[in-house]
């Protein structure tokens, strides 16, 4: 019985991989080429992300099947841009504690905001963080969803080496008229995969008197209106 279930699951996985190769991935590759350049690895990564956007996670073995090649370069690029996050961690679930292990048995998850970016890229052929952020926060039921792209733009504008302090986020929220929701919005930004706490930066936290957060590079491209 288990063998039959395994065969059926494998067949379904191969069918999904085939479907993702045929439908919409060309659009996603075109969208990603505008960010990463028209390089060979972009096509491979686009196929992996299209699959992960449907399944929420992707395994090392599945990536090998999808790209029919060694996954190392794809995973290194995906990790650099926080497009995929290793499930394995050293301590916490923060990005800096994720362990990028390049071997069979490893699982990688797609952040929520990246999933929305990929889904839109498949349909539109564009890498549009603002559109993805709006759709995600509308579906989360956030009352201030219209202001979230401006919040992320503000964070991106303040960030140095993709890091920003909690105090800086607080000031941006005050400028946008949502200063009474700072803690709640930070929690939602973390859940969305837009920011992640830098728990190892204790000296910097003490110096700044505020938590430090890493901004997901894939959404740091939000443009001014």
Do both 81 and 15 map to the same domain?
yes
| CATH number, domain containing residue 16 | 1.10.10
Residue 222: what are its φ and ψ, rounded to 5°? Answer: -60, 130
**Domain presence at residue 156:** yes
pLDDT of residue 10: 53
Cα within 13 Å of Cα(133), Cβ side:
27
211 shares a domain with 138: yes
What SS3 state is found at 2? Answer: helix
| Residue-level pLDDT at 13 | 57
pLDDT at residue number 36 = 82
What residues make up the domain containing 41?
2-120
Question: Rounded to an integer, what distance in angstroms lies between the CA atom of residue 180 and that of residue 7?
Answer: 53
Please answer whether residues 158 and 208 qualify as being in contact, where contact means their C-beta atoms are separated by less than 8 angstroms.
Answer: no
CA geometry: angle 171, 176, 181, nearest 5 deg: 70
The reply to whether 133 and 84 lie within a common domain is: no
Amino acid 23: pLDDT: 55
- pTM value is 0.87
34 plus 60 within the same structural domain: yes
The answer to the question of residue 100 being in a domain is yes
Q: Is residue 180 part of a domain?
A: yes
pLDDT tens track, the chain, 225 positions: 444 444 444 545 555 555 445 457 999 999 998 888 767 899 999 999 999 999 999 999 999 999 999 999 999 999 999 999 999 999 899 999 999 999 999 999 999 999 999 999 999 999 999 999 999 999 999 999 999 999 999 999 999 999 999 999 999 999 999 999 999 999 999 999 999 999 776 666 667 678 999 999 999 865 555
Q: Which long-range contacts (CB under 8 A, 24 or more apart) does 102-106 make?
A: 102/60, 102/71, 102/72, 102/75, 103/60, 104/60, 104/61, 105/59, 105/60, 105/61, 106/59, 106/60
Give me the number of domains the chain comprises: 2
Q: 185: alpha, beta or left, given left = phi > 0 and alpha = psi -120 to 50?
A: alpha
- Tell me if 29 is assigned to some domain: yes
Q: Is residue 224 part of a domain?
A: no
Output the CA–CA distances (angstroms, integers) from residue 110 to 26, 49, 158, 191, 223, in the order listed: 20, 8, 25, 12, 23
């Amino acid at each position: 019985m288990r063998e039959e279930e395994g065969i059926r699951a494998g067949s379904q996985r191969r069918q999904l991989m085939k479907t993702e190769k045929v439908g919409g991935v060309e659009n996603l590759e075109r969208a990603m080429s505008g960010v990463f350049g028209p390089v060979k690895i972009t096509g491979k990564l686009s196929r992996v992300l299209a699959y992960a956007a449907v399944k929420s996670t992707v395994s090392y073995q599945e990536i090998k099947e999808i790209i029919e090649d060694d996954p190392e370069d794809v995973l290194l690029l995906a990790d650099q841009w926080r497009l995929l996050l290793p499930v394995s961690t050293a301590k916490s679930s923060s990005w800096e504690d994720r362990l990028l292990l390049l071997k069979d048995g490893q699982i990688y998850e797609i952040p929520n905001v990246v999933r929305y970016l990929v889904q839109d890229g498949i349909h539109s052929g564009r890498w549009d963080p603002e559109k993805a952020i709006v759709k995600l926060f509308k579906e989360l039921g956030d009352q201030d969803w219209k202001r979230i792209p401006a919040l992320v733009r503000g964070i991106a504008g303040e960030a140095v080496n993709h890091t920003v302090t909690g105090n800086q986020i607080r000031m941006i929220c005050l400028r946008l008229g949502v200063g009474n929701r700072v803690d709640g919005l930070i929690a939602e930004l973390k859940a969305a995969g837009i920011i992640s706490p830098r728990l190892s930066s204790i000296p910097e936290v003490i110096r700044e008197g505020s938590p430090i957060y890493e901004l997901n590079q894939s959404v740091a491209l939000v443009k001014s209106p």
